[in-house]
Amino acid sequence: MTRRINKRVVRLTEASFEEQWQAGVREVSRRFALLGEDTRQRLTALARELTAKKGELDALSAPAEPAAHCAACGGACCVAGKYHFTKADLLVYLAMDQPLFTPSFDNGLCPYLSAAACLMAPGYRPFNCITFNCERIEDRLPAASVERFYRLERELRRGYDGIKALFPDASLDGALL
């Protein structure tokens, strides 16, 4: 009997995350559709900058072979990933007219991971995901790459602040869930 109750609680939680995801996507999409042309153009410019910087961050980490290290530890840092995808991240998808992925809230890890890899291209990954390198990865990078990585992280943070500034009521700030 206890097992059934526990399974039911888990299913309700997974459904709740799915419902929250859908509600968040609807609300952000609705707000995006209401943007004036000037704001939309500024958002698109910021989105281009963010995706380019995230691509650079990914390229800087590539020599350390992060995918192999993440696979070896099972992506332990990704367990709480459901809260990393923000409304600003969704706005980047919308501004860049990119199709949105479908998360899996029942995989036991980050809902944005498939069996093979992240559901998002590097340029579209959340801030926490693209800027985190564990010691296994960072220790394998040259000092100049690490320095450049953290400089890009600061620039990326300013880009997110720029998106937030487009919505002074803070309605599009924070996690999607």
**Is the model more confident about 5 or about 152?**
152
The residue segments making up the domain with residue 143 are 2-165
pLDDT for 86 equals 95
Six-digit token string for 76: 């332990």
> Above 70 in pLDDT, residue 4?
no
Please indicate, yes or no, if residue 116 is contained in any of the structural domains: yes
> Above 90 in pLDDT, residue 47?
yes
d(CA 73, CA 122): 20
Please indicate, yes or no, if residue 171 is contained in any of the structural domains: no
In the numeric block, the tokens 């992280």 are attached to 153
pLDDT single digits (tens) 81-124: 788 999 999 999 999 999 999 998 887 778 888 877 889 999 99
- The answer to whether residues 85 and 24 touch, using CB atoms and an 8 Å cutoff, is no
pLDDT for 12 equals 46
Please indicate, yes or no, if residue 113 is contained in any of the structural domains: yes
Please indicate, yes or no, if residue 44 is contained in any of the structural domains: yes
> Above 70 in pLDDT, residue 39?
yes
Q: Structurally, how many domains does the chain consist of?
A: 1
Please indicate, yes or no, if residue 175 is contained in any of the structural domains: no
pLDDT for 95 equals 98
How would residue 77 be classed by pLDDT, with cut points 50, 70 and 90? Answer: confident
Average of per-residue pLDDT values in the chain = 87
pLDDT single digits (tens) 119-141: 999 999 999 989 988 888 999 99
Six-digit token string for 136: 């296994």
The helix/strand/coil state of 111 is coil
Which residues are paired to 113 by β-bridges? 118
Query: What pTM did the predictor assign?
Result: 0.86
**Is the model more confident about 124 or about 174?**
124
Please indicate, yes or no, if residue 96 is contained in any of the structural domains: yes
The helix/strand/coil state of 29 is helix
> Above 50 in pLDDT, residue 38?
yes
d(CA 148, CA 138): 12
Please indicate, yes or no, if residue 177 is contained in any of the structural domains: no
pLDDT for 14 equals 59
d(CA 125, CA 104): 16
Please indicate, yes or no, if residue 85 is contained in any of the structural domains: yes
d(CA 102, CA 44): 23
